[in-house]
Amino acid sequence: MTAPPPPAPPSSATPRAPGRRLHMITWGCQMNVYDSGRMADVLAPLGYAPADRPDDADMIILNTCHIRDRAAEKVFSELGRLRLVKQARAEAGHPTILAVAGCVAQAEGAEILARAPYVDIVLGPQTYHRLPEMVARASRAAGAVIDTDFPAEQKFDHLPEQSAPQGLAAFLTIQEGCDKFCSFCVVPYTRGSEASRPAAAILAEARRLVAQGTREITLLGQNVNAWHGAGPDGAPRSLGWLMRALADLPGLLRLRYTTSHPRDMDDELIAAHAEIPAVMPFLHLPVQSGSDRILAAMNRRHSAADYRATIARLRAARPDIALTSDFIVGHPGETDADFAATLALIRDIGFASAFSFKYSPRPGTPAAGAPHQVPEPVKDARLQELQALLRDQQAAFNADCVGRTAPVLFTHTGRHPGQVVGRSPWLQPVHVIGPTSLIGQELMVKITTTHTNSLSGTLVPASNPAATQERTPA
Ligand code: 5AD
Ligand code: SF4
């Protein structure tokens, strides 16, 4: 492959400081956060360094999310604001490249260029590796560039090695896209069909992360547990195998993965929870509904009983596993009885936390055109009832942690003086009073207090000899 041409110099006559600045605005899921990082990596060789404010940026990328309500309107209103920034910079003699990326770009590319002609580049999630080429074309003012194809070659093959260190807890994308076509969801249309990144590339990136100091890796994918690949011997492998290979990397203490589909929780993955100490006792496993009628209407391809059985197997493998989920209330056709079945499932399982949403029609998805749309006030009432139950369960889960001693991986300082913050195995933030030298260490903490979204505790000296020596006097 030939290297993309370098971008043309800015046309302005005003002398410019060497180097260019890039401002990223990122909305949506962790995949988008990860993608923004990779776009910055792709642009770094062109001289783009980060800018905190759009006003200081030669290029602004709005990385969008389409998953829920009014995504397009939100994008157009943000673009209206950025247009003013672009105008003001142009008046000062500084051209600005404005790009829209992510799922809204994928879904509404042509519409964006029609309604916001001041946008220079529209690119879908599969084409980030072509950014340098698009920037070059946009800089030559050859007209707006749109690139939202699903190319046959996977974008994974073209991304450079990650440049910026990701820190103690890092994300690593191993899979993209989805073939499941849930009735309500845009992901199969915006992110394309399932594609797994090769095992060797994942292991190489994980090794680089660990060498840079990463101690916890969260594997990302829209359907992360659909990951499949080949081992070094060429044999077909799934996520359970991959986690074993990753857990063998010296220095890597913790592994997580998100987001999973209940259909893809195979025996090997469940065994990984039982057998690999680095695999954290935590799983986000969206169920969406507890009613078999609605699960069928959603095309989820599992029943409520299947989900309960999977949870029972996970709990048998790892009794302390914390479970979280996604719920949609008011999917077309949902009756009071269907909603009651969802509440019953939540009561039976007991979740550590959850995300819950009112169904909102996404144009082009089957559910958007389905009969028996649920009236908004009914959705509102159901969401409130469901969230009250989930809030109680979260409070109960956190309260149950008080008195337990658990390993905490410390990652940063807290807002209060002397405070250091880390994550429990169950993903709660945990605050302790201690020196900053705790950061980077995984240490035993006795949990003493619960707050709405976090816990506090004290270091357990006997199980943390190194930490005890480093403790500052109170
Ligand atoms: N309406 C409401 N919630 C949705 N989600 C996805 N699409 C929709 C929609 N059209 C929720 C699902 C999914 C989560 C990421 O967002 O619960 O698991
Ligand atoms: Fe969307 Fe998840 Fe269903 Fe795929 S499995 S269509 S990403 S909700």
Q: pLDDT tens string for the chain (474 positions)?
A: 333 333 333 333 333 334 789 999 999 888 888 889 888 888 887 788 899 999 999 999 999 988 766 788 889 999 999 999 999 999 898 889 999 999 888 888 888 888 898 999 998 887 787 787 788 777 765 455 666 665 545 566 666 655 555 689 999 999 999 999 999 998 888 888 899 999 999 999 999 999 999 999 999 999 999 999 999 999 999 999 999 999 999 999 999 999 999 999 999 999 999 999 999 999 999 999 999 999 999 999 999 999 999 999 999 999 999 999 999 999 999 999 999 999 999 999 999 999 999 999 988 889 999 999 999 999 999 999 999 999 999 999 999 999 999 999 999 998 889 999 999 999 999 999 999 999 999 999 999 999 888 999 999 986 765 544 433 333
- What do you get for the CA distance between the two ends of the chain, in Å? 61
**How remote is the CA of residue 398 from the centroid of ligand 1, in Å?**
26
Is the distance from the beta carbon of residue 373 to the nearest atom of ligand 1 less than 6 Å? no
> Which atom of ligand 1 is found nearest the CA of 326?
17
Q: Which of 68, 176, 185, 360 to mutate to test the pocket of ligand 2 (most atoms within 8 A of CB)?
A: 185
Is the distance from the beta carbon of residue 181 to the nearest atom of ligand 2 less than 6 Å? yes
Amino acid type, 71: A
What's the pLDDT score for residue 62?
96
> Which atom of ligand 2 is found nearest the CA of 191?
7
3-state secondary structure the chain: CCCCCCCCCCCCCCCCCCCEEEEEEECCCHHHHHHHHHHHHHHHHHCEEECCCHHHCCEEEEEECCCCCCHHHHHHHHHHHHHHHHHHHHHCCCCCEEEEEHHHHHHHHHHHHHHCCCCCEEECHHHHHHHHHHHHHHHCCCCCEEECCCCCCCHHHHCCCCCCCCCCEEEEECEECCCCCCCCCCHHHHCCCCEECCHHHHHHHHHHHHHCCCCEEEEECCCHHHCEEECCCCCEEEHHHHHHHHHCCCCCCEEEEECCCHHHCCHHHHHHHHHCCCECCEEECCCECCCHHHHHHCCCCCCHHHHHHHHHHHHHHCCCCEEEEEEEECCCCCCHHHHHHHHHHHHHHCCCEEEEEECCCCCCCHHHHCCCCCCHHHHHHHHHHHHHHHHHHHHHHHHHHCCCEEEEEEEEECCCCCEEEEECCCCCEEEEECCHHHCCCEEEEEEEEECCCCEEEEECHHHCHHHHHHCCCC
Q: Tell me the whole-structure pTM to 2 decimals.
A: 0.80
Is the distance from the beta carbon of residue 379 to the nearest atom of ligand 1 less than 6 Å? no
- Give me the sign of the Cα torsion angle 191, 197, 202, 205: negative
Answer whether 324's CB lies under 8 Å from 353's CB: yes
Is the distance from the beta carbon of residue 423 to the nearest atom of ligand 1 less than 6 Å? no
- Cβ within 8 Å of residue 419, ≥6 positions away: 413, 431, 432, 433
**How remote is the CA of residue 236 from the centroid of ligand 2, in Å?**
24
**How remote is the CA of residue 31 from the centroid of ligand 2, in Å?**
14
> Which atom of ligand 1 is found nearest the CA of 288?
17
Which residue owns the Cα nearest ligand 1 atom 13? 326
Is the distance from the beta carbon of residue 214 to the nearest atom of ligand 2 less than 6 Å? no
Ligand nearest to the CA of 358: 1
**How remote is the CA of residue 191 from the centroid of ligand 1, in Å?**
15
Is the distance from the beta carbon of residue 178 to the nearest atom of ligand 2 less than 6 Å? yes
Q: Which of 103, 175, 180, 225 to mutate to test the pocket of ligand 2 (most atoms within 8 A of CB)?
A: 180
- Cβ within 8 Å of residue 255, ≥6 positions away: 216, 217, 218, 219, 243, 246, 247, 276, 278, 279, 280
What's the pLDDT score for residue 415?
86
Is the distance from the beta carbon of residue 188 to the nearest atom of ligand 2 less than 6 Å? yes
- Cβ within 8 Å of residue 80, ≥6 positions away: 116
Is the distance from the beta carbon of residue 187 to the nearest atom of ligand 2 less than 6 Å? yes
> Which atom of ligand 2 is found nearest the CA of 300?
3
Question: CA dist 80 to 60, 86, 112, 385, Å?
Answer: 13, 10, 12, 37
Sheet holding 282-284, edge to edge: 282-284, 322-329, 353-358
Place of tokens 């969206």: 286
Domains by residue range for the chain, with CATH = 20-147 (3.40.50.12160), 165-280 (3.30.750.210), 314-401 (3.30.750.200), 402-468 (2.40.50.140)
Is the distance from the beta carbon of residue 424 to the nearest atom of ligand 1 less than 6 Å? no
Is the distance from the beta carbon of residue 326 to the nearest atom of ligand 1 less than 6 Å? yes
> Which atom of ligand 2 is found nearest the CA of 181?
6
Q: Which two tokens stand for residue 248?
A: 């063998």
> Which atom of ligand 1 is found nearest the CA of 361?
10
Closest CA to 408 of 459, 450, 453, 454: 459
d(C-alpha 89, C-alpha 21), whole Å? 13
